[in-house]
Amino acid sequence: MALDRKRGRGLTRSPGSYENQEYPDRLKKDGCIYLNGVVTFSSRGVYKVLMDNDMEAICTASKMDHKRVGILPGDNVSVEIPAVSLSPGCAVKGRIVWRIRPAKKTE
């Protein structure tokens, strides 16, 4: 019976084409800049990310909280920053759109 089934049981996700990759180009928006970085601090859904160009941004997670993707300090992420907010003298605010998974060890 359908009532006996647990929700989500038996549905396995095949290894996707996004495995260990960066944010896909087809999902990128115009007018935004995408940078990679490392999470240095997290508290109640607000994250500090040190990006590759040595800038620090204050970020939130877009749909990752809804999807229950855990983001911890030390994780590599992709950050979406609106081009308007890159004016000098103000804090850089962005949104975490992708968590880059570490490569699996093959034995």
pLDDT, tens digit, for every residue of 52-94? 888 899 999 877 766 677 888 999 999 998 877 666 666 788 9
Report the greatest alpha carbon distance in the chain. Answer: 61
Chain Cα centroid distance, residue 81: 12
Dump pLDDT digits (tens) for 93-106. Answer: 899 988 888 777 67
Q: What pLDDT is recorded for position 76?
A: 92
Question: In the chain, what are the domain boundaries?
Answer: 29-100
Domain 29-100 falls in which CATH fold? Answer: OB fold (Dihydrolipoamide Acetyltransferase, E2P) (2.40.50)
